[in-house]
Structure 1
Amino acid sequence: MTRVIVESLNLEAQGVARPLDENGAPGKVVFIDGALPREDVEFQSYKVKSKFELAKLTHIYKTSSSRVTPKCPSFNECGGCSMQHLDARAQLAMKQRVLEDNLKYLGRVRPEVILRPISGPTWEYRYRGRLSIFKIPKGRVLVGFHQKKGSRITDMLSCDILPIHVSNLLPRWRELISQLSIPGELAQLEFAIGEGKTPGSLTTAFVLRHLEPLSAEDQQMLITFAQIHDIDMWLQPAGLDSAHPLHPADSHLCYRLPEFDIEMPFKPTDFTQVNHQVNRVLVSKAIQLLDPQAQERVIDLFCGIGNFTLPLARRAAEVFGIEGSDELTKRAKENAIHNHLGERVNFACSNLFEVTPEVIESWGKADKWLIDPPRDGAMALATALAMMANSKNAEVKDYLPKRIVYVSCNPATLARDVGILVGQAGYRLKAAGVINMFPHTSHIESIAVFER
């Protein structure tokens, strides 16, 4: 056992410390599960590497003022959350510091303005997710998130980040799946929640991924379960495109953005933000920062099903949405028609990880861009813009947007792209801030504004 003062917290919510060696100098870094900054703790290492150690917390001599009692009984085991032992305000401050450190040390830039964090409810916020299923040989069925260490499924009967009606169904799902004919061939249970037809009502859909065909009796049991618990039941026998409703046959979901008079239909397997309340605030803030004018043309990159594209079309003269998935592009077009915006919005499917200056020119000139990439970021876009900014052909520079709003789900790739946009493409980082889309987890969303 070793005693140490914890220095900081890493992105996995592990306490970071450097115990003194025999000469009184700081030794190699130790990552301590469950320890918080400024705590005086005792730890025991369970994995020793040449440059670092992983350790478990064995005793706390001095407790941080930011430590709280985790709400969830499965917190110490479940890998769904890593920060329930840290006060929600401290979580947000830590995420803001991580963003600023990434921009400073990886992007070599500081934003001119730090935006106020965007946050919302800290419990029962997760409106979509994927639960794993595991049938213990000669034992019970588990339905839940993976454990923090390893690939096993957490033995959980509730989850406080899920809406209460979804959490309450976890033990019911265990009972039902154990009664089906192929419990060992059921891989996962995905859920998505949409707004109902009446104000304040919700529609909840579950998608059961099965590796072997379900019997007629299995399907009837699922239909009965859906009827009893007032949920929509979908089946997915293969890839995402194979997902289809079992009951009711006309199952559909939607979420709304009232500020822009947008209703967004989606399938439970479509990518949508997990936190609908924070998404409303995010869309509003992003469009406020981009500030599209009635005469301007805007390009929305990685547009998905149109989460930003359609609200932008309420403000700008024309919006061009580009997405890498054929299926999502199709859904975006359908959503534009659903909202009577077909004449103001165009969509295209294109690989945005292989972008050149010539590709950007083919999109046509645009006053402003909105970028919302996956975790890999938008390096190809940033690099192409840098090449255009440094081109000897003055006409090429006309295709550079004068303002960019970049919504990121990875502060490291954002910082990398910031370094290119500011250091090579001639943009200024006007502002940046965090979005607490996933409270109690280490996941950090952020937003940044660039101007030429």
Structure 2
Amino acid sequence: MNFSRAPSRTYWKKEEEVQITGLSHDGRGLARYQGKTIFVEGALEQETVTIQPIKAHRKFMDARVRQVLAESTERCQVDCPHFGQCGGCSLQYWSHEGQLKGKQRIVLDQLNRFGGIAPVDITEPLVSEPYGYRHRCRLAIRWQKGQLQLGFRASQSQSICDINVCPVLAEPLQALPELLRNTLPTLKGKRSISHAELFLADNGRAILLRHIKPLSDHDRNILSVCAERHQLHLFLQDNDRQIHCLYAADGDDKLYYSLPESGLKMAFQPSDFTQVNGQINRKMVAQAIEWLDIDEKDQILDLYCGLGNFSLAMAKKAGTVVGVEGGAGAVARARENAGINQLTHCEFFVVDLSGEITHQEWANRQYDAVVLDPPRVGAQEVIEQLGSQLPGKVLYISCNPATLARDAGLLKAAGFQLQRFGVMDMFPQTAHIESMALFVR
């Protein structure tokens, strides 16, 4: 192999055989060839494969499996008809148990490699059903030569993989792509609709349609009749991202999910961030409360609090909870949910947590624990600014092993030890890894 230039069709005539010796942070197999690292899509540890190049870089190569010569015992049959074309669920060839073990190894390796950190206690993963778990998804819509394309983005492409079924969708949502296929072509303004989002809430199924031009009364009537016939909540989102409920199956223009262990009913709008896996979300919140061992005297700070997913559950146990979030809409929903659940000892603030926060009044109070549930970029700014002001317990919810490892190193430098760690099966069949880490000073 010559890594000095990007591969071409004519250059790669000979299949190259490699041994997969490990896994990258995104679940790809790792191999070495002529002193270079190769990241191999579709390969599992301890397999022997031949590879097809994707892109050459100065120090490494992206490739995909062409043929598996010696299989891992964790390799399994893929049943989804769209696997390989669809850009989602890229790990379906890996057994569910293997995915859990592998994802745990990936995060532990990142923690050790970049922070020199190993947890005192590794807990059993929070396990989801491997399929039928997804309570929300987004479908792209495009018209090609008069034909509707509806589905997910294709792998490494902006084209659309037309789907008929999606095994990871919750069963009540399975029929909705076909419903959209039958309904959208009847609209006069069909080309104005660019995306659809599907939701499963406690109070029913919902569809959000995004449109770049206003829909006519004719089209709105067709959609209302369809929603009523199939008992759906139907939302429209215009080009200014304003959302309007066109039809509500139960007469309530809000959607709800529950946290039964805490006795909470949580309202949300389609634009709000909610976890896609309701089963794991419930287990995750319960585990967070257990790990922090909250009692009625505790003062809790919940950063990146969203609509109150952790805050309000913890408020059931704690003396006071303060939630902080950058989005005004999410904070408004958190306050609304506090009212719905009659929780009066919560405060919520709208603050950009990537900016200066040390002057904030809430940041200078005394707390018994802080919850960090940041986006993929992590919580570096918060940790660096609060530093010695952080309380004795920091519970970190991570969706990115790399930024968790970086931030764990910052917490270690601030005098914290990683006491407990566990992965959470929030996204089976995908390379996404969710984990929970408890740091104690």
Give the shorter-chain TM-score range.
over 0.9
Query: What corresponds to 2:172 in structure 1?
Result: 165
Report whether the alignment pairs 1:416 with 2:406. Answer: yes
Report whether the alignment pairs 1:439 with 2:428. Answer: yes
Identity among equivalent pairs (%): 37
SS in 2 for 1:329: helix
**How many residues end up aligned between the 2 structures?**
425
Report whether the alignment pairs 1:314 with 2:316. Answer: yes
Report whether the alignment pairs 1:369 with 2:383. Answer: no
| Alpha-carbon spacing, 1:18–1:362, altered in 2? closer, same or farther (3 Å) | closer
Structure 1 contact 82–440 (Cα < 8 Å) conserved: yes
Residues 186-335 of structure 1: matches in 2 within 5 Å? 186-196=193-203, 203-240=204-241, 242-248=242-248, 250-335=252-337
Q: Tell which deviates more after alignment, 32-41 or 431-440.
A: 32-41
Q: In structure 2, what is the Cα distance between the partners aligned to 1:417 and 1:57?
A: 34
| Alpha-carbon spacing, 1:236–1:356, altered in 2? closer, same or farther (3 Å) | closer
Task: Give the CA deviation at 1:362.
Answer: 4.5
Structure 1 contact 382–420 (Cα < 8 Å) conserved: yes
Query: What corresponds to 2:127 in structure 1?
Result: 119
TM-score normalised to structure 1 length: 0.90
Runs (5+) with no aligned partner, structure 2: 1-14
For residues 314-359 of structure 1, give each alpha carbon's deviation from its aligned partner in whole angstroms, at most 9, with x where no partner exists. Answer: 1111111111111111110010011010x21111111111244443
Residues 344-383 of structure 1: matches in 2 within 5 Å? 344-359=345-360, 362-383=363-384
Whichever residue aligns with residue 4 of structure 1, its letter is: V
Task: Give the CA deviation at 1:85.
Answer: 0.4
1:87 is matched with which residue: 82, 95, 108?
95
Whichever residue aligns with residue 254 of structure 2, its letter is: H
Task: Give the CA deviation at 1:72.
Answer: 0.8
SS in 1 for 2:169: coil
Structure 1 runs of 4+ aligned residues shifted over 6 Å read none
Query: What corresponds to 1:154 in structure 2?
Result: 161
Task: Give the CA deviation at 1:38.
Answer: 1.8
2:183 is matched with which residue: 162, 176, 184?
176
Structure 1 contact 290–370 (Cα < 8 Å) conserved: no
Query: What corresponds to 2:31 in structure 1?
Result: 17
SS in 2 for 1:106: helix
Task: Give the CA deviation at 1:57.
Answer: 2.5
TM-score normalised to structure 2 length: 0.92
Q: In structure 2, what is the Cα distance between the partners aligned to 1:95 and 1:207?
A: 33
- Report the RMSD for the aligned CA atoms in angstroms: 1.7
Structure 2 contact 173–199 (Cα < 8 Å) conserved: no
Whichever residue aligns with residue 42 of structure 2, its letter is: G
Task: Give the CA deviation at 1:50.
Answer: 2.9
Runs (5+) with no aligned partner, structure 1: 22-26, 197-202, 390-398
Q: In structure 2, what is the Cα distance between the partners aligned to 1:11 and 1:133?
A: 31
For residues 161-200 of structure 1, give each alpha carbon's deviation from its aligned partner in whole angstroms, at most 9, with x where no partner exists. Answer: 002232222123123222222333221111221113xxxx
Structure 2 contact 25–107 (Cα < 8 Å) conserved: no
Task: Give the CA deviation at 1:53.
Answer: 2.4
Query: What corresponds to 1:393 in structure 2?
Result: none
Structure 1 contact 12–82 (Cα < 8 Å) conserved: no
Task: Give the CA deviation at 1:429.
Answer: 1.4
Q: In structure 1, what is the Cα distance between the partners aligned to 2:83 and 2:107?
A: 25
Whichever residue aligns with residue 181 of structure 1, its letter is: K
